[in-house]
Amino acid sequence: MNIAYLSTFYPFRGGIAQFNAALYNALKQQGHEVNAFTFTRQYPTMLFPGKTQMVQPGDPAEVIPSIRILDSMNPLNWVNTANTINKTHPDVMLMKYWMSYLAPSLGTVAGRMKKRGTKVVSIIDNAIPHEKKFFDKAFARYFFKRNSAFVAMSEEVKGDILSIRPDANVLLKPHPLYDHFGKRINREEAHQQLKLDPKKKTLLFFGFIREYKGLDILIDAFDALDESYQLVIAGEMYGSFDVYQKQIDANKNRERIHAHVRYIGDAEVPAFFSSADAVVLPYRTATQSGITAIAYHFESPLIISDAGGLGEIVHHEKTGLVVPDVNPENLAEAIRAYFSRYDQNKFMEEIRLLKSTLSWDAFTDSLLNFVASVS
């Protein structure tokens, strides 16, 4: 199959670029022709409050040979992008969609490719963004109308797609594991690398820090725990960390909160997940989370809120705990229960059983069979 793949690739960094690189490699390994296309400008700085969108010197990134062509801010460029992609004569064009800002540019390219007879299939991370704007549904409707079919990685996202386009053809397929970080390392070695106390029960909050992810809930919950716990916060802040730092400063357990508020490079990831007895995701809203895919790769059990699609990914009392009505009190109680009532090794055994169903090959097979069925 001749595939055009328009999305975020190297030299851009982050989870979406990592997802695209892994899927690109899986498609190539199965013998398909894949041409990758990416942005010249993904979005303006005002929409990216982190330090940089680009891979930095020293970052061990997957270098995908993509053509930088799409300027999301320049409508005059969008037609040219479609014309260039069309010259590769693809059977299908794949895209990723996660925020409404990208709907006009991606939708215009999709519409022109579809009119020329190319199937257009988009993998939808968020049909409706977590931090909602009044134009989200209108922009999504524009984009969805110009697609042939969609892939959703949670029931929550599938439902959102169908709420905007009821006749949509949607494949439901869980997020595959991020397996490019290497193997889990020894817990003691991980604690040594991060300067943690190996005798403490270690909780990990990992990923970009945004309001909807509920870090404030976790910090308050940590205040209610005893001195046998330590909390690791690892991720780049979207905006100012000041409000969380004030919470930490007021926390009675502040000496056991270890904050790494910066972008965490791929080479550092194994130490953080290998040090954790549990990964805690107290999200207020969610669709699916790439963090669960990393946690499962490292066989790290999760304690999560019952938000959106997270409850579909974490099997309660098997691969972790799902906390209903998450708030500091309920979360603190769930953390205590995790260590006092459950066997962490059994959680890890269940994760190992689940991992075989979440491979990139399995995801790719389902995707290609779905594409073949799309008219």
CATH number at residue 319: 3.40.50.2000
Residues 245 and 224 grouped into a single domain: yes
Greatest alpha-carbon span in the chain: 64
Residues 284 and 193 grouped into a single domain: yes
User: pTM higher than 0.75 for the full model?
Assistant: yes
Give the span between the Cα atoms of 174 and 76, in whole angstroms. 36
The answer to whether residue 114 scores a pLDDT higher than 80 is yes
Element spanning 197, H or E: none
Residues 191 and 172 grouped into a single domain: no
Residues 20 and 142 grouped into a single domain: yes
Residues 165 and 210 grouped into a single domain: no
Residues 169 and 307 grouped into a single domain: no
Structural domain total, the chain: 2
Residues 97 and 171 grouped into a single domain: yes
pLDDT value, residue 52: 62
Contact between 24 and 34 under an 8 Å Cβ cutoff? The reply is yes
pLDDT value, residue 41: 93
Residues 72 and 198 grouped into a single domain: no
Summarize pLDDT for 204-228 with one digit per residue, the tens: 999 999 999 999 999 999 999 999 9
Residues 152 and 93 grouped into a single domain: yes
Residues 86 and 191 grouped into a single domain: no
- Give domain status of residue 181, yes or no: no
Contact between 284 and 212 under an 8 Å Cβ cutoff? The reply is yes
pLDDT value, residue 260: 97
CA pseudo-torsion sign 117, 123, 128, 134: negative
Summarize pLDDT for 133-186 with one digit per residue, the tens: 888 999 999 999 999 999 999 999 999 999 999 999 999 999 999 888 889 999
Residue 264 corresponds to which tokens in the numbers above? 């965490």
Residues 195 and 324 grouped into a single domain: yes
> What is the overall mean pLDDT for the chain?
93
60: how many CB neighbours lie within 10 A of its CB?
Answer: 13
pLDDT value, residue 311: 83
Mean pLDDT (whole number) for 259-267: 91
pLDDT value, residue 183: 92
- Give domain status of residue 182, yes or no: no
Domain span at residue 226 reads 187-357
Residues 143 and 258 grouped into a single domain: no
- Give domain status of residue 33, yes or no: yes
Question: Which segments of the chain does DSSP mark as H helices, in order?
Answer: 15-29, 75-86, 103-115, 136-145, 155-164, 187-194, 215-223, 242-250, 269-275, 290-297, 310-313, 328-341, 344-355, 360-373
Q: What are the φ/ψ torsions at residue 178 (nearest 5 degrees)?
A: -80, 110
